[in-house]
Amino acid sequence: MDGCYCQVVARTLAGERPVDEHTHASVAILGERLEHLKEHGGLFAGIEFSPHVQRLQQHSEPVSIS
Q: Which residues contact 34 (CB under 8 A, 6 or more apart)?
A: 44, 47, 48, 49
What gap in Å lies between CA 60 and CA 37, rounded to an integer?
Answer: 21
| pLDDT tens-place values along the chain, 66 residues long | 556 999 999 999 999 999 999 999 999 999 999 999 898 888 888 889 999 999 988 876 654 455
CA distances, 41 to each of 15, 30, 35, 54, 61 (Å): 33, 17, 10, 20, 25
pTM metric for this prediction: 0.79
* Domain residue extents for the chain: 2-60
